[in-house]
Structure 1
Amino acid sequence: MSHITLVRHGQANTEARDETSYDRLSDLGTQQARWLGEHIARSGEHFPRLYCGSLTRQRQTAAAISLANHAEPVIDPRFDEMEFFTLAALYRDQHNVPIPEDREDFADHLPRLFAAWQAGEIEGPPESFDRFETRVRDGIEDIGKGDGRAMVVTSAGVIGMAMRLTLGLDLIGFARACLAVENTSLSRWLPLRGSLALTQFNALPHLEDAERQFARTHL
């Protein structure tokens, strides 16, 4: 059966406060990806099509998953993450809204940031909200037209946007979907008659054992 599996990258540099510093896996993030690769190998699932965003943390995750006898990943920047740190800094400087320091603050901040971004109230963003939405839609739709199972190593914002496009989420729902996505989690869509149906969200089969519960991370 043909389907698309989106994988969030492993835990990145959680101490970072800018795009460049954030864009590398932590040691735990590398281990999360290795465990995912081992799980896929044991399951016998085969992905004849592999894709990956162009960011360092995404490419490092794909390399650590290390799927032997599968296709080489195609690097596709349509699956790059939005530049959250850049957007948040612009929002802070232009609207005096502090950048959140913990996950609870993110829950209030992210919908406000998305609303300002979508409305064009943030001057000089790296890309517009509409451009981000369009490139994610185009990437998912193009892969959905192909044959065979596909895996895409990407980021939480892209997975959240795929949820928004599939389920018609508003900005609050979109933000909550982004915040829910855990590192190296699996979310799956099934192409059906020209559209996509969500069949799995945020699964972590490789981290379900009790001794690996510590390795579940959002940030």
Structure 2
Amino acid sequence: MGQIYLVRHGQASFGSANYDQLSELGMEQARLLGEWFASTHQTFHRVVTGGMKRHRQTADACIAALPKAQRVDIEWQTDADFNEYDHHEVLVRHRPEFDDPEEVKRFLASSPRAKYAFQDIFQASMSRWMSGLYDHEYREPWPRFRSRCVAALRRVMSGTEKSQSIIVFTSGGTISTICQHVLGLQDKQVAELNWTLVNCAVTKLLFQPDRVTLSTLNNYAHLEWLGKPHTITYR
């Protein structure tokens, strides 16, 4: 039985000019994951990354923490179908004023419960995107995003020999959507699941040629292992 480890990227640079860049903490999270895999003697036959910078940075920092014997023969691939949806477009189609980063900063600064208020707005933005009523307004409508995530998963499965282990560095929305496919979740549950995924957490799938099952979801024991709560982040 093959194994696919889906890793959400480390903490990115939320609020900066370039979100697609790991923060210093994000690099530490990725390194801790690699050290965890090293301590458990986990080996991988293939590394797959999405096409985003934060995916590759997470992969590089994680795999570099493995002993040389565990990483020397790993095959590397990039598959942009593991990329995240365009969260900025999803947000501004619902709240056009948030196209201006300064407006987002003003909103966060003026809201007494900014984190939760912004989460409510983004949840509504996701519902609009997924509703099917406005597909013509998005460069990548929800059905197209869902289809490419599932297609990416199937490519990994079809290109893998029996009992191999593959690690995929991707994003929360992609992982949540793949879980929807595996578990038969409703669209609403995808958005809810996405909020719970920890940076650099691992979701493990087991598969055979004709089926795939969920083994573990959102495992971040490697971050708890350090004993420092600040290493557990969601954004």
TM-score, length basis structure 2: 0.83
Query: Hey, what does 2:9 align to over in structure 1?
Result: 9
Structure 2 gap segments, 5+ residues each? 98-102, 109-113
Q: In 2, are the aligned partners of 1:91 and 1:122 still within 8 Å (CA)?
A: no
Query: Hey, what does 2:214 align to over in structure 1?
Result: 198
Answer with 65-74 or 200-209: which moved more.
Answer: 65-74
Query: Hey, what does 1:159 align to over in structure 2?
Result: 175
Q: In 2, are the aligned partners of 1:111 and 1:171 still within 8 Å (CA)?
A: no
Query: Hey, what does 1:84 align to over in structure 2?
Result: 87
Query: Hey, what does 1:141 align to over in structure 2?
Result: 154
Stretches (4+) displaced over 4 A: 98-103
Q: In 2, are the aligned partners of 1:107 and 1:176 still within 8 Å (CA)?
A: no
How far has the Cα of 1:157 moved from its partner? 0.3
Are residues 1:33 and 2:33 paired? no
Q: Which amino acid aligns with 1:184?
A: C
Q: In 2, are the aligned partners of 1:8 and 1:184 still within 8 Å (CA)?
A: yes
Structure 1 gap segments, 5+ residues each? none
Q: In 2, are the aligned partners of 1:3 and 1:144 still within 8 Å (CA)?
A: no
Map Cα deviations across residues 164-219 of structure 1 (whole Å, 9 max, x no partner): 11112112211111111100000011114612111100001211236332200001
Q: In percent, how many aligned pairs have the same letter?
A: 29
How far has the Cα of 1:160 moved from its partner? 0.6
Map Cα deviations across residues 114-152 of structure 1 (whole Å, 9 max, x no partner): 332231426542312111101100111121222211110
Q: Which amino acid aligns with 1:158?
A: T
How far has the Cα of 1:91 moved from its partner? 1.9
TM-score, length basis structure 1: 0.88
Query: Hey, what does 2:77 align to over in structure 1?
Result: 74
Select the structure of larger CA radius of gyration: 2
Q: In 1, are the aligned partners of 2:50 and 2:81 still within 8 Å (CA)?
A: yes
Q: In 1, are the aligned partners of 2:8 and 2:171 still within 8 Å (CA)?
A: yes
Q: Which amino acid aligns with 2:78?
A: I
Answer with 180-189 or 137-146: which moved more.
Answer: 137-146
Question: Aligned residue pairs: how many?
Answer: 214
Q: Secondary structure at the match of 2:185?
A: coil
CA distance in 2, matches of 1:201, 1:103: 24
CA distance in 1, matches of 2:118, 2:181: 22
Q: Which amino acid aligns with 2:15?
A: E
